Amino acid sequence: MGILGIDPGTLKMGYGVLGDGPNPHADDYGVIALPSKMPLEQRLYQLHTHILNLIAIFQPTAVAVEQPFMGKGERSFPGAALAVGQAQAVVFIGAASQGIPIFKYAPAQVKSAVADYGAASKEQMREIVAATLGLDEIPQSDAADALAVGLCHLIQRQADVALGRIITPGQER
């Protein structure tokens, strides 16, 4: 089973392909970087093409995508969230066109699952991801975020399987 983790963005989109098993591992990861001078519609098209290529090459059974962080009050980021939403849509369309299920995770949910601490710093997350996956080097921030989203999905799936095995009183075997 392979998971394609995505950290969406219209200028930089991180991706990570994780293989499942007793010890999760990274099959590939990186950042799709596009020039800011390129028109938005061309960047979205390029991202769509890259997503379809990743799906064709690695044939993931699930796509895990980080949700945009909106913020609140004076610390809200509606413009950034809109750009992330546009990049998310490209990923959703690419995965849906290939019949691959999509799972969405909030940033705090990813941090809690991977670092066991919902307010972990970017640097802490990068180091934890590298250590967990046995990487020789610490990945770029966007790639590390994508790998963390993929790890979050694997951890969530393992928890769901474990919870499905719990026998409640009164249940027949």
Q: Is the pLDDT of residue 116 over 70?
A: yes
**Mean pLDDT computed over every residue of the chain:** 88
**In this structure, what CATH number is given to the domain that contains residue 154?**
3.30.420.10
The per-residue pLDDT for range 136-166, each reduced to its tens digit, is: 999 999 999 999 999 999 998 876 665 666 6
- Structural domain boundaries enclosing 24: 2-164
Are residues 133 and 23 in contact, defined by beta-carbon separation less than 8 angstroms?
no
Work out the average pLDDT over 32-46: 96
pLDDT of residue 164: 65
For residue 169, being part of any structural domain is answered with no
Catalytic residue chosen out of the listed positions 66, 74, 137, 172: 66
Catalytic residue chosen out of the listed positions 28, 123, 127, 142: 142
For residue 76, being part of any structural domain is answered with yes
Q: How confident is the model at residue 75 (pLDDT cuts 50, 70, 90)?
A: low
Residue type for 44, please?
L
For residue 171, being part of any structural domain is answered with no
137 belongs to the catalytic site: no
160 belongs to the catalytic site: no
pTM of the model: 0.87
Q: Based on the structure, what is the number of domains in the chain?
A: 1
DSSP state of 119: T
pLDDT of residue 117: 79
Catalytic residue chosen out of the listed positions 7, 41, 116, 123: 7
For residue 172, being part of any structural domain is answered with no
For residue 145, being part of any structural domain is answered with yes
pLDDT of residue 119: 78
66 belongs to the catalytic site: yes
For residue 46, being part of any structural domain is answered with yes
CA angle 148, 62, 106 (to 5 degrees): 40
CA 53 from centre of chain = 17
Work out the average pLDDT over 34-55: 97
For residue 173, being part of any structural domain is answered with no
pLDDT of residue 118: 74
Are residues 103 and 63 in contact, defined by beta-carbon separation less than 8 angstroms?
yes
Q: Is the pLDDT of residue 35 over 90?
A: yes
For residue 86, being part of any structural domain is answered with yes
